[in-house]
Structure 1
Amino acid sequence: MADAGVVFPTGQRWDAAVLLGVGAFLLVARLPLAIPLIGVLSAGVLVLQGLVPRRGFGLGTVFFGVSLAASAAATLRAPSTLVGGYFSWAVCFALLAAAAWFSGSVERNLRMLLGGIYAGLWFHFIVSMAELVTGVKILVLRDPRAASVPVMLDDPWVVSSLFVNYNDYSVAMVIFVNLLLARLLFGIGRQARWRSIVQGVAAATAGVLVVVIGSRGALVALVGTVALELLVVVRFRHPERITSRHLWALLAAGGGVLLVAWNTPYFQSHSTEWRGMIVTYIVALMLANPLTLLTGFGSAEAFANVGKIAYPGELLNPHNFLLEVAMAFGVPALVVLVAWLATVVIEGVVRQRIPMSADGTAALVTAVGLLGYGSVPSSYLDYGYLFFFLVAGSSALYLGRRAGIDGASVSLANAAARPAPAPAS
């Protein structure tokens, strides 16, 4: 739907939204200096499209405001963290949010942002297919001492594209499947058949790779997000079959299955126990300095230095995006993020107040999917997915509220709007 009430005096102002997609592509594709470039490109979008005051982005705006304030305070305590620290990240991604939410068309900005992420994931998919065909593994050449290298040398199916290990690559492929599936579900019958075939083959191939590579966290994220995506679309198209009561029952059953599976030997390995100890260590470090609870550590390097002193010889990668947010921007930012996630689940999944389109569905599923994606990589924030999907999810909810969308009522309206079958001759 067009963002009514916003007038663009020239065609150039619409085109400026493409810069959001360019920035997203640069970071997803793992290119150098991508985060600063996102800030520069987003500032350019604001200049070209102008600033448009809008309501409806409350929790997202608060999250970026708290993150900026906390990381700025941490930087004042340790000025050396200014370059490459969490404050510079907060500035760049806050500019991205401002450009996506408060300039131009929110719908257009959302499409460009998701399009850039989609293109970046296609890039990694193609690179990894080249690795499979040629047998040449980029990580082996780039970092022969990486922990993943022995596995990659032994198993021809384990690839990583430009990622630092195959776990992080697997998470990227889960997101790729989610975006492909959204486009496929809404594209069949509306787009060229060859396009649907390509999307289906790519989604199936990426999903198989996640299973074959064997990242357990990525596999859980894949199953959970695909199930959620199908549930959202089926419920939209057939609201009478899945009522709110059915939905809560399904969510409870899914949570129960996940809890049982999580306590099986397949998941409760030494790695899981080790991650639990890391959480304990990091929480202890934050509690040791109450100011850190409010502002975070300032930078990943500053945290590493503190960790080396307190726990010499221990690896302290968080492996949990919620904990990483607290480390980067303090506990208040974490509280706001959790509140935002709860809002997305209630407004987006339960009440379905989002545009029922490929972009709306992708924005919702990837926002909720953060709960799965963010528990796999050793460090998650530098990939930018949290900020991208926070911006995209908030945009989808805004568009839904703006149009007064309610999942059930829209479904019934769509059904009523379908042309009646022609009478038999």
Structure 2
Amino acid sequence: MTITQEKTLAAIVRSDFPILQEKVHDKPLIYLDSAATSQKPLAVLNALQNYYERDNANVHRGAHALSVRATEAYESARDKVAAFINAASRNEIVFTRNASESINLVAYSWGLNTLQPGDEIILSVMEHHSNIVPWQIIAQKTGAVLKYVELTETQEFDLEQFKSLISEKTKLVGIVHVSNTLGCINPVKEICAIAHQYGAKVLIDACQSVPHTPIDVQGMDCDWLVASGHKMCAPTGIGFLYGKLDLLLEMPPFMGGGEMIAEVFLDYSTYAELPHKFEAGTPAIGEAIALGAAVDYLMGIGMDKIHAYEEELTAYLFQQLRDVPDLTLYGPQPTAEGKGRAALASFNVKGLASSDVSTLLDHEGVAIRSGHHCTQPLHRILEVTGSARASLYFYNTREEIDVFVRVLKETIDFFKSVME
């Protein structure tokens, strides 16, 4: 993809995102926080509004026209998600509130009923809190043991150490596909193959990969995969769990209530078929429908095209950051073509708090993240309390990167002058 094509792609999509036309502190908004949440295109906003204006009714519960239309749209979204990640069956897609709920579903339904004292769970030190805390709770309840894969010298997943940690005692491997702090892309297909040799199951946190690159769960051969809609152009409050059909069939319900039942008697109940067994209560109907619209939107652009575009933005971002003084970048460096890492840069400036850096950038209209990014254990290993993070998506441009880097340099110069 050429530089001209890069600009053309950005120019095509930016008009689809109303918020990108906003001003912040009387400055044009430059939104570089998509790893936290993405912005929403008109197609998604319209789908959400259309449901509430024209089709608002509960799903699966009524024979009237509104309920039928709502149910069809809701279940159509499930089909779209299944196709998006190449699931073998629509019944392998469970709608949840977010990736955190998806992980907790697996932890409490499978983990609590499967793990025994002495069984081992392997995670990595770069995991989001959502893929650490549930397993800590389950380990405390079951007597299972947590083990962690550490970082290589280039701050990537240490595959060789993983090979030394895994054993017949390992029952679960839970790994993030793309680190939201380091930006490294973990070898999940190889991890799954190694884990399965020992009979272990694998859960992949794909929150930072599903929005940015083509995902094939059958090719990956993971047992579960989780993602959040709000990072992939959909609304908040909707996510999904992919699980292999045989596993989901064996797992007991996570929550009880309406929707997930077949029949209820005073002394016992029978449960609905997949995937409804795991979707208790009235779901986030409008949000699920809008998630389907987000999938349509992303597939309309083409995930291969999005991935290639972001690689070139990544190369340009890191090229520009090389000229910034006193900067420490975390994670592996990309190749000259931007390959080898995600389109985000976590960093610290010598002598400055990340919160101060992000606050001054905000006054210039540049929105970046600061803090621990829900990876406190990782930041302790990096020997910092937090970091600043600029994260890109396909609606960002090289011109926005130029402004970000310029304002970052000005911010550093300002603090230096104050401290002199």
Task: Give the structure-1-normalised TM-score.
Answer: 0.29
More helix by share: 1
More strand by share: 2
